[in-house]
Every structure is written in C-alpha cells, then in structure tokens.
Amino acid sequence: MIIIREVLSKKTEDHHVQQQGIQMTTAEKLYKTAKELPEPVVAEILDFAEFLQKKMAGGRASGKEMLIDIAGGLETSATFFGDPLEIQKRLRDEWQ
C-alpha cells in the first residue's frame, strides 16, 4: 500500500510540474531522486555514471569491451573501500 501511495504521489507531483510548464531534464530528475537516497546508493550511482563517462570517452571501434578495460574500475569506489571481509559482511547483510 505504501509503494502505491508513493507512486501516485510521484505521478501527481510530476503532473503538477508539467502543468506549470516546467519541463525537468533527465539530469534534473536524477538529481532530485538521488537527493532522497542514502549516501552509499548515491556513491554507486556516481560510480556507474563515471564508468559510462569513461566508456563513452574511450569508445572502442568494435563496440566490444575487453575485461582489461574495466580492471580496477572500483578501486576508488566508496562502496568497495576498506577491509574485504567487512565489505563482504556489509553486502551480505543488505539482503537480510
């Protein structure tokens, strides 16, 4: 029931914004949504966005990505920073 209420509230809010003649860009919608998420989730979104940015900047002619191209891509990630055993425990506990 809560999820339905949230979806309806979001649709009403989006409709209200459109009625006022204000069109939000995708980046603005992403920013608005990200503001309401916990910091670890926002860090993952940022990691993914940076990955896409690098992928677009260095685009391969064949369109195929090699494993070596993404090696080390998470070394500065806030999600995967710290002791490997603690990271595993934290990720495992997310699903409980």
pLDDT in tens, 62-92: 556 677 777 777 777 777 778 888 888 888 8
Structure tokens at 5: 């209420």
Q: Judge contact between 45 and 34, C-beta under 8 A.
A: yes
Indicate whether 8 pLDDT > 60.
Answer: no
Q: State how far the Cα of 37 lies from the Cα of 43, in Å rounded to an integer.
A: 10
pTM higher than the cut 0.75 = no
Q: Both tokens of residue 69? A: 């191209």
pLDDT at residue 7, rounded to an integer: 46
